[in-house]
Amino acid sequence: MIVGIEVGGTFTDLVMVDEQGGLTVHKIPSTPTDPSIAAVSGMGEILDMSGQGAADVDELLHGSTIAANALIQRRGARTALITTLGFRDVLFIQRQDKSSVYDMFYQKPAPLIGRDAVFEINERVDAKGNIIAPMSEDDIVRLVDEIADEFGAESIAVCLLHAYANPTHEQRIGDIIATRRPNIRVSLSSDVSPEHREYERTSTTVIDAYIGPAVDQYLTRYGERVGALGFTGTPLIMQSNGGAVPLQAARRRIANMFVSGPAAAVTAAADIATATNTPNVISVDVGGTSCDVCLITNGMPETTVKGTAEFSVDGLPLNVIMTDIVTIGAGGGSIAHLDAGGMLKVGPQSAGAAPGPACYDRGGELFTMTDAMLLLGLLDPAKALPGDITLRPDLSESAAAALCASLNLTPVALAERVYRIVIANMAQALRRVSVNRGHDPRDFSLLPCGGAGPLVAGALAGEIGMDEILLPPHPGIFSAYGLAVADVRIDYVRADGAIRTDTLTKQSLQERVDGLRDQAATEFTALGYDPSDLDMRYSVDARYVGQGYELRAPFDPADVARDGIESLVNAFHDIHAQQYDHSFPGNPVEAISFRLTARHPRPALTPHITATTAGISAGTRTITLDGTPASYAIYDRSELPPGFTIDGPVILVEATTSTPLPAGWRLTVLDNSAIKLTRSKT
């Protein structure tokens, strides 16, 4: 039996999968002050629902926003940075790019630490890993004592120049800190982000050190609480790369936890896409606070290692492997407001779980996307939300009053504008992961998930011009389901600097492949997994000589052994052509980093929903979209058997969400309980 627990900003979602593939789902409000409270209490509740005990759970997986919240709220540890003499200001100079190109008053994001927290050590390693200036251990001891006693550090980041090429000095500093000050947490750049580009590597290491103690304490507390509940196994923690690792390994990879919840949803989307023979999908995960969009091709989510402004947390570069997700502040709790020019905007501010949308009757007074959907008829006020939340349309109308007066609109007209603005914002995010990267979204199916994803799916598909929607089982708790199907995964990298591929040989490449493979085998063995069961996939970060940034191209070592280095180079040309619609086959190519993704597959699941009737309408509901009220037939999803088909307008209701299907769309239930929605092309 498998239990997945995903803690979001508004709700905590749980899923339990039994040996036959049967799903039990549960959703409760999150507890922002201590997310582990909702996680553990929810686990107890879902076990009670099925008559099981925690000792019956074979695998327990968990994803949380704790890492992102600790950074965004700037409530991390007192952190010091040790760096190479002369490089004290790398963290403050940053880069020349900015996230808002046309903002005349743009301010760079403030680093997590001040300049007084940066300490220099006299040492030097060159880009090839050669030690130019040895390091004095007496200097290290004095510096560590100063940082601990005078500065009062709770955590130390160590980022030395070119440590990715030779980590010896960093490792020695780490050993001395561990020996002399075992109560201080240490983050080494050679462990956290062993790659070139000093600012991004320094930023990532400082982030890991800054949030490390808080997240470490959370993981410890979570492990103790599930143990007290009766769970006897090793909890698995979701990572940003779409895979899970044992709790003890997660504590060494704090920076890899930032988008664990959204990554779990993408993992689930890839699983369902493959199971339904729909390999190319765009997942849109809409919760209470944000909308997360990811492109999935051939059943595989895109991943990134770009530590740029586009791939950052709170504006600070995070240079680790993560699922390539574009996130915007558009969710059920997004707040509608007027900007300085009097234009209606929605988000990125969110009402969150507390106080929540106005209609929750929990103290919220601002009009949100949830209030808009309630007034449009997309939500049923007679049906309580998880956590026994009763929706009150009168409170939504009261919250809308000020905006209605300013814009001279009725509450329903305001609600539709809010809904359409959110749809437009989501469409832009969808184009960023598809059109901007050389893909036509009309060649993909839309896969909505999250509590609000299905509520916007039809309108979003219409905005983009997509003709097919794949609605997974239990979309409202999809991240939790993704935890249940996630493989154990660890990513490895070897950064050698810029090496022209025409100087590479089969032997030198094989040495790099062997080194990565041995590193993975050693760690997985230490974690209790058989390395012979690992699925290993290799890639190279490459660029044309003279380019500033790389593209990642997958390669098979067997192909290189058979066809030579040219097969690796051709793989890069193909990726470049896909991304930019051109390539330069005659230009020299240089390899920057070699990567290995090692997975230990977990047992495949075949979830199912058992239909109880032949699918009988439970009445109608009036829904207002495009300014016109229309009658939608109501169907309970749990009552629809495989093969059931009906044309819109229909609204499909289930425990965790609802899906409006406008006229012109057809619903078909698939054999595995997923639902395919197709739009007529006439």
CATH of the domain at 180: 3.40.1360
What mean pLDDT is reported for the chain? Answer: 90
Model confidence pLDDT, tens digit, residues 179-202:
999 999 999 999 999 998 899 999
- pLDDT above 90 covers a percentage of the chain that reads 68
pLDDT of amino acid 307: 45
At residue 624, the 3 state secondary structure works out as strand
pLDDT of amino acid 284: 96
pLDDT of amino acid 312: 64
Last residue of a domain, one of 600, 632, 660: 600
Asked if residue 222 is part of any domain, the answer here is: yes
Residue 289 has pLDDT above 70, yes or no: yes
Q: How confident is the model at residue 309 (pLDDT cuts 50, 70, 90)?
A: very low
580 in the same domain as 561: yes
Residue 251: both structure tokens together: 């504590």
42 in the same domain as 83: no
233 in the same domain as 176: no
Average pLDDT over residues 490-518: 92
Asked if residue 328 is part of any domain, the answer here is: no
Asked if residue 310 is part of any domain, the answer here is: no
Q: Which residue has the higher pLDDT, 50 or 313?
A: 50
585 in the same domain as 503: yes
- Provide the whole-model pTM: 0.85
Average pLDDT over residues 409-432: 95
Asked if residue 339 is part of any domain, the answer here is: no
pLDDT of amino acid 608: 56
pLDDT of amino acid 610: 53
Q: What is the residue type of 536?
A: M
Asked if residue 675 is part of any domain, the answer here is: yes
Residue 626 has pLDDT above 90, yes or no: no
210 in the same domain as 134: yes
579 in the same domain as 558: yes
Residue 402 has pLDDT above 90, yes or no: yes
Residue 612 has pLDDT above 70, yes or no: no
Residue 617 neighbours by CB distance under 10 Å: 13
Average pLDDT over residues 129-135: 95
Last residue of a domain, one of 163, 185, 215: 215
56 in the same domain as 29: yes
Phi then psi for 315, rounded to 5 degrees? Answer: 85, 0
Q: What is the residue type of 114?
A: G
Asked if residue 296 is part of any domain, the answer here is: no
Asked if residue 305 is part of any domain, the answer here is: no
Residue 314 has pLDDT above 70, yes or no: no
**What kind and span of H or E run contains 43?**
helix 35-50
pLDDT of amino acid 498: 87
637 in the same domain as 503: no
Radius of gyration of the chain (CA): 26
pLDDT of amino acid 104: 81
Residue 308 has pLDDT above 50, yes or no: no
CATH of the domain at 567: 3.30.1490
Please state the domain count of the chain. Answer: 4
Asked if residue 230 is part of any domain, the answer here is: yes
Residue 16 has pLDDT above 80, yes or no: yes
pLDDT of amino acid 310: 47
pLDDT of amino acid 11: 80
Last residue of a domain, one of 237, 257, 277: 257
Residue ranges in 303-437 assigned as alpha helix (H) = 369-376, 393-407, 411-433
pLDDT of amino acid 311: 55
Q: How confident is the model at residue 588 (pLDDT cuts 50, 70, 90)?
A: very high
Q: Which residue has the higher pLDDT, 306 or 44?
A: 44
CATH of the domain at 65: 3.30.420.40
Q: For residue 565, how far is the Cα from the chain centroid?
A: 34
Q: What residue has token string 């005659």?
A: 586
186 in the same domain as 208: yes
Residues 6+ apart with CB under 8 A from 592: 196, 495, 496, 497, 498, 499, 540, 541, 542, 543, 550
Average pLDDT over residues 16-43: 86
Query: What does the alpha-carbon distance between residue 132 and residue 124 come to, in Å, rounded to a whole number?
Result: 5
Domain assignment of residue 664, given as a range: 620-679
pLDDT of amino acid 487: 92
- pLDDT above 70 covers a percentage of the chain that reads 96
Terminal C-alpha separation, the chain: 47
Residue 289: both structure tokens together: 């606070």
Model confidence pLDDT, tens digit, residues 294-303:
999 988 887 7
Residue 618 has pLDDT above 80, yes or no: no
Q: Is 580 exposed, middle or buried (0-12, 13-18, 19+ CB in 10 A)?
A: exposed
Half-sphere exposure (Cβ direction) of 104: Cα atoms closer than 13 Å: 0
Residue 676 neighbours by CB distance under 10 Å: 17
pLDDT of amino acid 614: 56
